[in-house]
Amino acid sequence: MRRKIMINAAVFLSGVALMAEPTSTIELRDGQFEESTPNGSFPSSGAWQRSWLGEAGAVCTTTAGRSGNGLWAYTGPNSSDQWSATYQEFTCPPGTVLRAEGWVRTPPGEEWVKGSKAEFQVRFLDGNGNELATVASEPLSTPSTDWQRRVLVTCPAPIGTVRVRYVCYLEKPSGEVGHSVANFDDCSLRLQEEPHFQTVKSP
Ligand SMILES: [Ca+2]
């Protein structure tokens, strides 16, 4: 009986070890935007992906950098140009818990539609790209030219998760016209350290 219990414990522990060490690598590239050219076009490093509506967008500039280069994200002038969502995406197994960080601000002298928000998001996606869960940082919801640090820890990736997306997200309220502008820099995404299980020793 004792032998069987020990075997079961070993199986359990190996399962924990497997969960703690997923085979996929989840780590942002060009999280500081220093690998991109700050020439007012979309970040050129190849790490970041475009996503926005209409005349919204995102470009790499030095004026958007907390240090060096940064991401200058903006909504378009029309009500339909509601959001800008530059992202990176990775393979991600269910159960993964992630920690996302980044810095955000509104640049001096730029417009801000009341009710807009700038935040970091982690989106868990299924094999068809459908969002299973989205975890957002505390938003920047009023203009602040001082850089604000944001940190979020996700829930475990839901069953069915195939990919995870880290998003620099800017959105103005539905139906509003006008520009909102936000800057993002020093982005990171990594596995959250699991709580350590205490080992129970046999007498
Ligand atoms: Ca930078």
CA of 85 to the centre of ligand 1 (A): 18
Structure token pair of residue 175: 């139906």
C-alpha of residue 38 to centroid of ligand 1, in Å: 10
Contact 110, 183 (CB under 8 A): no
pTM: 0.84
How far apart are the CA of 36 and the centre of ligand 1, in A?
A: 10
Q: 101 CA distance to ligand 1 centroid (A)?
A: 14
62 CA to centre of ligand 1 in angstroms: 8
Q: For residue range 96-136, what is the model confidence (pLDDT) as tens digits?
A: 999 999 999 999 999 999 999 999 999 999 999 999 999 99
How far does residue 107's CA lie from ligand 1's centre (Å)?
14
**Among residues 142, 137, 143, 104, which one has the least CA distance to residue 122?**
137
Confidence (pLDDT) at 175: 96
Count of alpha carbons within 13 angstroms of residue 48, beta-carbon side: 34
pLDDT in tens, 125-182: 999 999 999 999 999 999 999 999 999 999 999 999 999 999 999 999 999 999 999 9
Q: Domain 25-191: state its class.
A: mainly beta
Write the DSSP symbol of residue 169: E
Give the distance (Å) from ligand 1 centre to CA of residue 48: 14
Task: Match 């999280």 to its residue by tokens.
Answer: 31
CA of 13 to the centre of ligand 1 (A): 41
